[in-house]
Amino acid sequence: MTSTLPAKAASSTSQRGTIGGVPGAPSRTRAQALLARVTGGNDTGGTEMQAPFTGNPIATLPQATDAEARAAFSGARQAQRSWSAVPVAERQRILLRLQDLILDRRDEVLDLIQAETGKSRMDAFDEVAAAALCASYYGKHSAKLLGAKRRAGVLPVLTRTSEVRHPKGVVGIISPWNYPLALTALDVLPALAAGNAVVQKPDNQTCLSALWLHELACEAGLPEDAWTIVLGRGSVIGDAIVEESDYVGFTGSTPTGKRLAGQIAERLTSFSLELGGKNPMIVLDDAKVDAAAKGAVTACFSSAGQLCVSVERIYVHESVKEEFTRAFVAQTERLRLGAELDFSADMGSLTSADQLDTITRHVEDARGKGATVLTGGRARRELGPLFYEPTVLTDVTPEMTVYAEETFGPVVSIYGYTDLDEAVDRANATAYGLNASVWSRDGARGRAVAARIRAGTVNVNEGFAASFGSIDAPMGGVGDSGVGRRNGADGILRYTESQTIAAQRGMRLRPFRGMPPKLWTRLMSRGVKAMRHLPR
């Protein structure tokens, strides 16, 4: 079933009851009402969506077939023609209205995010902030970023050259389960601002946040058919998205990303991929230890570690390692785990049983091969079916799975070092390259170390929020962490095709009538040499 949402408010979340047995959440009836508006009430072929906090059902999700997904692209292609004709200034106004709606109605989506992901409310607010910042940024800067740019012509004055931008057409977005609101906004909103239509496939487990944002966008003035959401399994509708899109944006695992890249390459269609990471933190010998320890707690355990840019490896100079480790463990043990829909819990639960299985396997493998568990290391089923304690390991060695494989959970390993070059080399000794963190009292020194780390973003005296929240700057990975960038100019220009228009006047770029070609080439060669001295 494809979803073409009506342009009205997400009233399904305006009252609170229980959803999936989570007290205070929007009721199951109201969550199902949101889905009914999306699907016209058709829930055939559905799959059950469960609340991570309790394991109880939230809603029955209708699932699109391959044919229905392709039909969504057909409709989007028609809608794109009229949407691209809307002036960029009006598209900007819609995004700015959307920003206000996101912030004014944040409690609605905070409930949804917590109910469908299991994360704490503060971690859920990170998503609200990211979505609002994205709407604001492209609401203010799209016209400038997309506007025609003058380029130097081959002959000064006589050649007028400009670069213009056209939308790709229909953009296919495949969104992950871990940051359903933030990553929907960061990928979908700039695509719309560039004049594209969007067909999005959110993950079944966390689709309610995307549907909520869609409803708000329509309320803000977006034509409802400019952005279509299809709910379905990747094994069923994934090929349709890859084969029908003019551009594909994917966030997810590295193996899936590599497979998609191969499929997309056969069509010569452009794409961007944000994939996995095994992100390092380096604590220098001059770091403020308490600040680094507190920062590491946020860097490692936000959203229960289910964040592509979270830290899983910490390299600490031996001169401060004992002090740092003691402070970090103490800070970690103060974290309160809980399932309340308020700000009382510091960390929520995992989102799926698969994640719990992976984390348990990594920790038990490390423990069995000699690693030391300084704190954590066990599931907390008395709190809920998917809770796992924030876990700190030492004595981790290369034969352990957790050493090099992405865990994607609340597990981090601490290593000592004595030589900074060694620490940088070890931080870079991975196929991944998504995010990193450096801690030093000396900002210039920290930035210099950051520049040596092979990663798409590096934060100094922060874990990930500084770069993640800097919407004006590009974000993405290198190596097995992905291709392309979101945010900033890159984040909107990736959804466009550039076109060069060059107008010549007064002089052809060929010899004048009667002029020997040899003379022409000599004169042109002198002219090209002379032009390098002209101001640009």
Kindly list the catalytic residues. Answer: 274, 308
Which helix or strand (DSSP H or E) is residue 467 part of? helix 465-468
The contacts of residue 389 (CB under 8 Å, 6+ apart) are: 337, 375, 376, 377, 378, 379, 380, 410
Q: Nearest Cα to 97, choosing from 202, 33, 7, 169? A: 7
Cα distance between residue 485 and residue 491, in whole Å: 6
Cα distance between residue 482 and residue 288, in whole Å: 33
Residue with tokens 């066990």: 378
CA dihedral (265, 249, 275, 189) in degrees, to 10, reads: 160
Three-state secondary structure call for residue 350 = coil
Nearest 5°: the CA angle 132, 137, 140 is 120
- Strand-pair category, 2-3 with 247-251: unpaired
Q: Rounded to whole angstroms, what are the CA distances from 378 to 331, 353, 363, 392?
A: 18, 14, 9, 11
Three-state secondary structure call for residue 132 = helix
Cα distance between residue 527 and residue 177, in whole Å: 58
Ramachandran assignment for 488, one of left (phi > 0), alpha (psi -120 to 50 degrees), beta (any other): left
| DSSP per-residue letters across 42-55 | --TT-EEEE-TTT-
Cα distance between residue 391 and residue 333, in whole Å: 9
Residue with tokens 């170390």: 449
Three-state secondary structure call for residue 298 = helix
- Strand-pair category, 457-460 with 391-394: unpaired
Note whether 113 and 119 are within 8 A (CB). yes
Question: Which tokens sit at 187?
Answer: 């990928």
The contacts of residue 483 (CB under 8 Å, 6+ apart) are: 261, 271, 272, 273, 476
Question: Which tokens sit at 236?
Answer: 């069923």
Cα distance between residue 19 and residue 398, in whole Å: 43
Sequence-separated contacts (24+) of 25-30 with Cβ below 8 Å: 25/51, 25/111, 25/114, 25/115, 25/341, 26/108, 26/111, 26/112, 26/115, 28/57, 28/58, 28/59
Helices (H) and strands (E) in the chain, counts: 18, 21
Residue with tokens 């299985």: 357
